Amino acid sequence: MSAFKRVSLPVLVCLASFCAGQVLDPADVTRVLGPHWRQMSRASGMVFAGTVISVAAEPTGKQNPLPIAITRVRVNEAIVGVRPGQVIAIREWSGASSMHRAMSPGERLLIFLYPPSRLGLTSPVGGRQGQVVLNARGELIAPSLQESEASDWEYAPIAVLKRCSARNQGRADCAPASHVHRITLQQLARAIRSARGK
């Protein structure tokens, strides 16, 4: 084995293990998921990134006295309580939909769900905070700037902060460039599992 191969192999192994075990600053997670992300992680029965397949209303009747909305989501990235490829039927009381943003077929989300109730109902933990919009490749993106409160820039998703710092430095609703870090879905998944003690 050449000297180059003997040296480069341990270096590559070392770099791979560093990248895999890279620690994410909790402040960065807070900027993406909000200040209560640890509590949200612990309160969730299911956490996953998935694609919305369909949204429908379940008719009321003797079996279903409450109006129920059913949102079917395919799991792309399993984090807590689900398997990759599984289709989750989110059964939610229709009146609870005003507490979070509406989900649309084709949309990709990182979603935190409460454990199902005795009636099999659930909803996103923390309302809107329990839904993080992803792009078509399943990567973190930002909501529109109109959805972000100017006073809450420190909790806005990183993509908003990057766009702000590039275009509008000095604005009150933009973070300094030094606060901007790239966060992957896999890093968030590790942070969420860690917050749950798993």
Mean pLDDT of 83-108: 89
Mean pLDDT of 157-168: 45
Q: Which CATH architecture has domain 37-135?
A: Beta Barrel (2.40)
**pLDDT tens digits for range 129-147:** 899 999 888 888 754 332 4
Which of 6-10, 115-119, 160-164, 169-173 is modeled with the greatest confidence? 115-119
**pLDDT tens digits for range 24-35:** 688 888 888 889
The pLDDT of residue 23: 58
Question: Residue 102 in 3-state DSSP?
Answer: coil
Which burial class, exposed, middle or buried, applies to 19 when counting CB atoms under 10 A from its CB (0-12, 13-18, 19+)? exposed
Cα 124 from Cα 106, distance rounded (Å)? 18
Sign of CA dihedral 22, 26, 28, 30: positive
The pLDDT of residue 165: 45
